[in-house]
Amino acid sequence: MTSSSTAYATMPSPVGELVLATQGAGLTHVEMPVHGAAPRREHTSAFDPGWRRDDALLADALGQLSEYFAGTRRTFELALSPRGTPFQLKVWEALRAIPYGTTISYGELAARIGNRNASRAVGLANGRNPIAIIVPCHRVVGAGGKLTGYGGGLENKRLLLDLERSVVSG
């Protein structure tokens, strides 16, 4: 696969059809439908000749996501290659440190990256996370635990949090 070639796969999930993509070095995207619409990325060769379906290349990621939705996986062991600004990458790395089944506020996430006053910027970076679920942006909530903003819709955010809480509580 050339560095500009993108391989993708899709999978059904409780939050709708997921689109996974890689350019070979690691997972670059896990996207879900927004409010019942198709995922944002055009992911078929009919729309983008640089994208080609390759379920075998993404088999490990597909399997780990299936285990997550079945409640048998709490952490992901995948190479990731998100693309973003240095600030976004810092936020996305901090998201990966939020334990399964727990939530933190945008303010707490800002403090974790060393800038208590950056909660709005953290929220924007969180909203641009290209690797949903695996980089768990759904675990960030508003002050007081209120569910706020989620690219996949608040119903899906609630579904993911409820799934994790039910697994943790046994």
* pLDDT score of 42: 47
Look up the pTM and report it: 0.89
Round to the nearest angstrom and report the end-to-end CA distance of the chain: 43
Asked if domains 6-70 and 86-169 share a fold, the reply is: no
* pLDDT score of 4: 61
Q: Which of 28, 27, 9 is nearest to 19 (CA)?
A: 9
The number of beta carbons lying within 10 Å of the beta carbon of residue 68 is 21
Distance CA 61, CA 83 (A): 18
CB distance 8 to 30 below 8 Å:
no
Query: Would you put residue 69 in left (φ > 0), alpha (ψ -120 to 50) or beta?
Result: alpha
* pLDDT score of 8: 93
* pLDDT score of 32: 87
Give yes or no: 137 in active site: yes
Q: Which of 94, 104, 137, 140 is catalytic?
A: 137
Domain locations in the chain as residue ranges: 6-70, 86-169
Angle at 132 between CA 126 and CA 135, to 5 degrees: 70
Architecture of the domain delimited by 86-169 = Orthogonal Bundle (1.10)
Walk along the chain (170 residues) in steps of 10 and give the mean pLDDT of each run: 76 94 92 61 54 94 98 97 96 97 95 93 93 96 86 91 94
* pLDDT score of 143: 85
CATH T-level assignment (fold) for domain 6-70:
Double Stranded RNA Binding Domain (3.30.160)
